Amino acid sequence: MNFKKAFLVLCLVVAGSFGSVYAQTVLEKHYSDEIFITAGLNAPMHKYFVSGPVYGIHYGHSYLSGIGFRAGVQYSPDVAQIDDVLGFPIAFTYRTRSLSWEERFINGINGIDNAVESVSTSRYIDYNRFGDGILGFLSGLFDRVEFFAGVTPGYNFGGSSSLGIEYTSVTQTTRWVEKPTSLYLLLDAGFNLNFKIWRFDLKLMPAFHFNVLNSYVYHSETKDLLNGSTMRQTGTLRWFFTLSGGIGLHF
């Protein structure tokens, strides 16, 4: 009798395992396409410039191996004081497998334990363990990570712009941005943290961008009010950092 019960339980476990794998494969294949909208901040990595909003809509496709691609369109009211900037991001992507609720819960609890113990078990903080704990906690919040790398060609519709005039007791400094070309080309790299709710994803997307073209040239001219001498500086804005959030639908 015990043997029959054990055999029955084993059959149910095996059948359930195959059914789970089959269902997961079918669902992943069926929901391999995604459309999502984003909104965030685009921060030029230079002290003269302030961050501005960026909005986008994207389509993505992933294969069962996790490799995929995505493309979209994005708009910024201004970038580096240049108005109306339109871009068309294209990227290759790699998605990690989705974690179950149990795995996420365990990762989160273990992460909190490691972070707390790294602080409380010694007079000195074990920063490596603390960092691992924070990463474990974050992996408990999000069920999947997507890494991406690609390019964003785009167009600047606005013209050159002034950054203002700054005065001190002895100097007058004028700064402005020149737009030598209306085109720009960004090299993009970042990752995408996903929190899945049924067929929807909540997203958090940090990324770095490098502008290949001389699209944004900043100038600084400082005049000495006492002797009339002038000092000029010129540079090209290359690096940007974006942090966006969004919501997506799988289909």
Q: Sketch the domain layout of the chain as residue ranges.
A: 1-30
* In contact, 80 and 238? CB cutoff 8 Å: no
Task: Quote the CA–CA distance of 143 and 100 in Å, as a whole number.
Answer: 7
Identify the residue whose tokens are 């365990």. Answer: 106
Identify the residue whose tokens are 């294209």. Answer: 90
Local confidence pLDDT in tens for the 251 residues of the chain: 444 444 444 444 334 433 333 334 444 445 689 999 999 999 999 888 889 999 999 999 999 888 999 999 999 999 998 999 999 999 999 988 766 656 665 666 666 666 566 665 555 566 666 666 566 666 566 777 899 999 999 999 998 888 888 888 888 888 889 999 999 999 999 999 888 888 898 999 999 999 999 999 998 888 888 887 888 888 899 999 999 999 999 88
**pTM as predicted:** 0.74
